[in-house]
Structure 1
Amino acid sequence: MTEDPERDGARMSFKGRMAYGDYLGLGDLLTSQHPLSDAHDEMLFIIQHQTSELWMKLAIHELGAARAAIIAGDLQPAFKMLARVSRIMDQLTGAWDVLRTMTPSEYTQFRHILGESSGFQSHQYRMIEFVAGNRNLAMIRPHEHRPADAKALWDEALRPSLYDSVLGQLRAAGFDVPARDRLDQPHQPDPAARAAWLAVYRDPVRHWSLYDLAEKLVDFEDYFRRWRFNHVTTVERIIGFKRGSGGTSGVDYLRRMLDVVLFPDLWEVRTEL
């Protein structure tokens, strides 16, 4: 017998009611892909980057909420949010596997129509870095043609970062860790912070919440690094060592970015344990 969901209680008519597509705005979402060529793989390229931007939007949402919770000393919800961000980074990493099904021959069919657009110009990617604490003010310049995006990055650069909020929790626990004078600069290794983390890691039972918080940040950065690494290998596989469409040196530039560390104290303390 053919299944009729209505007999199971499913609503089948939605005139005047909110349906799935209405709630999600699918009319706008699924019509926002506008290939500029006849190349089959351009649709893959567009959707790959659009979905990545959606995941980044969620990551920014979670990181901001985690920071607010940490500042308030409400660490348990922050743990859940940071764990979710790590899973988002895992999703972003896996998405490169789909893009890698596109060969160099297929990409060259439409690369020329990208002009100077590049993932380098993603203001949401930059926002994730700024929230975490990797703040390079020169990176705001590519967004100056969109004043709202540039202002959001400037505003973020002047706020305590996610890691600044974590250092605040070290101070609240009695550790002598100075606040930074220049919030608009990237985090540099801090001997006082490293000494505090060393004490936390040597006695995790006594400092369990701080210990767990530190590991949540390391998880986040671990997955963030995997995402960046997969980006490098995907770019090299598809365009080799050509210059990036946005003008960077391409793979060479991306490889240098792999050396950027978001939370240097948490990585350096491992050598001392």
Structure 2
Amino acid sequence: MSITCGQSSTCGAGVDNLEPPPCCQESETLDQLSGYDLRIIQPRHGYRFSVDPLLLADFAGVRAGESCVDLGTGCGVIALLLARLCEDCSVAAIEFQQAVARIAERNVVLNGLSGRVEVVEEDVVSVKSRFPVDSFDLVVSNPPYRRPGTGKVSPRAGRDDSRHESTAALADFLAAAKYLVKPSGRICLIYHTSRLAELMAQAAQQKLAPLRLRMVHGNSRMEARMFMIELAKGRSGELRVEPPMMVRGEDGGYSEEKLRIYRGRG
């Protein structure tokens, strides 16, 4: 289900390659999410965003007037999507890799969202030094899902930091989310299914209640590799398991739901 943007043969509908503007370096590419009127600068050979940010932004369903925070924003895709999906929300985009945070800042400026999206260079384990408790209505995150020392080591600079737990583990992301979210707020994550049981156990330790769960499949014959979950602080309720998300249909083409998400507001 991984869709690497910037490569026209795999991106699919809604993601277009553009000629880089003068602000782009030779080591970068410029891609467009046409359904959201967004242009995204990202490393040519480092970590490149996949379909996951679009699925998570759609799942989160940002609401009018909400204050939002993206933990581990990367080049800022989820934060920018939230800002486009809701014209009167504000977004803090937290990223600990300095070089990546600089790209996120340039993407904010490039898309004219400087007044609504703020990039904060900080590690998730240190959010208490930058924000008061209960600061946000919505916390979103696509945390690294590989434990240190597992999986293949990527030769691409920055890619391992985005996929492997280097400076922060899953427990740190959940603790930061709990600290930042308001009691009436929501936490929405997308994560690898191999760690679903662990996430549920750690959420229970943090007294975060699961409210919604949705599995993401490549197609109806494939096992789910990712899932999206909504958690809440200080609230309880029955867990609602939503119909699964299929990236591709029976004919091998992109599913109608995925195409709808890519079309965005277009």
Higher strand share goes to which structure? 2
Do both share a fold (TM > 0.5)? no
Tell me: higher relative CO, structure 1 or 2? Use CA pairs within 8 A at least 6 residues apart: 1
TM-score by length of 1: 0.30
Higher helix share goes to which structure? 1
